[in-house]
Amino acid sequence: MTGVGPLEPGEGTRAWDAPDPADAPVPGPRSWRPPRLPDRHRRTVLAAAALAALLAGSGYLYATRERQPPPPAPPFPAQVVDVSYLDPAVTPAGAPPGSFSFAVLVSVDSGPPVTVTRISQPYAGLSVTSEPRPPFRTEAGSARKIVVTMHVTECGIVPENAGLPFLDVTLRNVRAMQVQSFILGPRYAQALTEGLRGACGNDSR
């Protein structure tokens, strides 16, 4: 025989039969099996695990959510308040001689309520009161009619005339307190000039 063929296994050299995989122990953790619990306990454990997983997932998502920008700060009061001239008004009873009155409208466009804490004007020889008296508060989206009364205290020094006089109004809201000059326009200028002339006379200077 020159041919190479399978040798007959010698004694003691016979290969062992492979063991049945079903009977072999599986290495590692797969070999562990939880102790078998009663169905009632098993459901409780699973529910608790599910709840924990849900809470953990929710917490993670909440912690990594996109943050909303903080709400914008309230506007400065002067940016939302309008003071406009309306018309001449009846001077309140009890006002001293040399007084004259007119009405203005104070309106608040938006934002938190605004309180008017003071109304004044910069002319020498002239004082101002108003009805209602400051402080008074106005809500956003509403307007309030104010009767302003000017009283000439010294005709010799009060300005004779003006093109664009203004009222100084002190405004306060939760953001800030500001003094804003409201230039009420030509109708106010005319009313002021006429009021001053009426109070002082044309040749009283």
Distance CA 15, CA 107 (A): 104
For residue 126, the cross-strand partners are 152
Shortest Cβ distance from residue 136 to other proteins (Å)? 19
Distance CA 166, CA 152 (A): 16
- Using CB under 8 A, which of 114, 146, 152, 184 touches other proteins? 184
String of contacts with other proteins for each residue 66-105, x by CB under 8 A = x-x---xx-xx-xx--xxxx--------------------
Sign of the torsion formed by the C-alpha atoms of 18, 22, 23 and 27: positive
Q: H helices within the chain, ranges in order?
A: 39-63, 186-200
3-class SS at 168?
A: strand
- Using CB under 8 A, which of 14, 33, 40, 65 touches other proteins? 65
Shortest Cβ distance from residue 36 to other proteins (Å)? 12
Q: Is 166 in the site for other proteins (CB under 8 A)?
A: yes
Q: DSSP label at 96?
A: P
Residues 98-127 touching other proteins, rule: CB under 8 A, are 122-124
- Using CB under 8 A, which of 61, 71, 90, 97 touches other proteins? 61
In order of 113, 124, 172, 173, the CA distances from 75 in angstroms are: 11, 33, 11, 9
State the residues that interact with other proteins by CB under 8 A: 39, 42-43, 46-47, 49-50, 53-54, 57-58, 61-62, 64-66, 68, 72-73, 75-76, 78-79, 82-85, 122-124, 159-166, 176, 178-188
